[in-house]
Amino acid sequence: MDKTYIQDQGILELYVLGELNESEQQQVEEALTQYPDLRSELERIEIKFETLAFEQAIEAPDSVKNALLKEASLMNSKTLPLSYTKNNRSYMAIAASITGLLLVGSIYLYLEWTTAKNKLKLVEDQNKELNIKIDDLANDLDTTRSLFALINNPNTEKYILKGNELMPDAKVISYVNNSEKSVVINTEYLPELDNEHDYQMWADVQGEMIDMGIIDTHQTMLAMNYIENSESLNITIEPAGGNDHPTVSKLITNVYLK
């Protein structure tokens, strides 16, 4: 149905009066959505009929309204609880789904959280370890640096203690700096002892042997106690933990200082 046909044939009036069959009505409704001016023409016709009807209005008895409201209310209470429970059920289903999703989500997040927490702990531990390592390395570096500085110091004298017949393979390099008052030895060529014994170093001061400390063979470079006016350096094998006096029979090497 085109616009001109609708207008010329007075189809809108028939539409308002409800005289069109279903397919005609549908065609008019399609045309109405297509042509806004047709829509406003319809509205004008509707308003005319509506105004006419209001002019001819007759008040209906109150009984009609009362009966209507009672019936509607009855129907509402009859249908609403049904639809209410139906809605309620679907709401419950929606709520249950949401709860389910939330639960699954929560479990997932909890697991994620624990994993993350564990990972974080691991990383923290590793970090701590690395920090310790870095500290150790820094300390080692400091030690090495100071040892290096000491060795390269022009005032440092180098003495090599060679093993006697008791231990011919033993060699200890010692660096003595009288101005810095320090003694450092290199234990690299000192054979390992059993757990019962330790090497101990002694300084000879006017015939008296003074303890310079136990030699830890696990450390390559080792600082010993500096003893003033030492005439010679001596290393003996002593029971583990060291001795107060040197066991002369167990002297493995000695060197006289300049």
Partner 1 sequence: MDESLLYFVKSLTFMSDDKALILKLKSKDETALSLVYDKYSAALYGVIIRMCKDEDAAKNLLQDTFMTIWEKSDRYDFEKGRFYTWAYRIAKNKTLNFLRKPNHLIQIADLSVYKDRTEDVTRNIDDLKLKGTIKRLEPHHQKAIELVYFNGLTHREAHEEMNVPLGTFKSYIRQALKQLQESYVTVIAFLMILIEGIR
Q: Is 50 an interacting residue with respect to partner 1 (CB under 8 A)?
A: yes
5-25 as b/e: b if 16+ CB within 10 A:
ebeeeebbeebeeeebeeeee
Closer to partner 1 by CB, 2 or 29: give it.
29
Least CB distance from residue 4 to partner 1, whole Å? 15
C-alpha 136: how far from its chain's center?
A: 26
3: which DSSP letter?
Answer: H
Q: What are the structure tokens assigned to 55, written together?
A: 């002019």
Q: Is 69 an interacting residue with respect to partner 1 (CB under 8 A)?
A: yes
Going across the sheet that includes 232-239, the strands are 208-215, 197-205, 232-239, 251-256
Closer to partner 1 by CB, 72 or 120: give it.
72
Q: Is 30 an interacting residue with respect to partner 1 (CB under 8 A)?
A: no
For residues 222 and 227, what is the distance between their CA atoms, to the nearest angstrom?
15
The span of 25-33, 187-195, 199-207, 249-257 binding partner 1 (CB under 8 A) equals 25-33
Q: What secondary structure does DSSP assign to 110-178, as a single string?
A: HHHHHHHHHHHHHHHHHHHHHHHHHHHHHHHHHHHHHHHHHHT-TTEEEEEEE--TTSTT-EEEEEEET
Q: Is 60 an interacting residue with respect to partner 1 (CB under 8 A)?
A: yes
Least CB distance from residue 114 to partner 1, whole Å? 48
User: How many residues are there in the chain?
Assistant: 258
Closer to partner 1 by CB, 67 or 141: give it.
67
Least CB distance from residue 120 to partner 1, whole Å? 54
Q: Is 80 an interacting residue with respect to partner 1 (CB under 8 A)?
A: yes
Written as one letter, the residue type at 101 is L
Least CB distance from residue 98 to partner 1, whole Å? 25
230 close to 215: Cβ distance less than 8 angstroms = no
Contact with partner 1 (CB under 8 A) among 2, 5, 17, 98: 17
248: which DSSP letter?
Answer: G
Q: Is 87 an interacting residue with respect to partner 1 (CB under 8 A)?
A: no
Write down the H helix ranges in the chain.
3-8, 11-17, 22-34, 36-55, 62-151
x/- letters, 132..171, toward partner 1 (CB under 8 A): ----------------------------------------
Closer to partner 1 by CB, 4 or 33: give it.
33
Closer to partner 1 by CB, 59 or 194: give it.
59
Contact with partner 1 (CB under 8 A) among 29, 124, 142, 188: 29
Note the residues at the interface with partner 1 (CB under 8 A): 9-10, 13-19, 29, 32-33, 42-61, 63-65, 67-69, 71-73, 75-76, 80
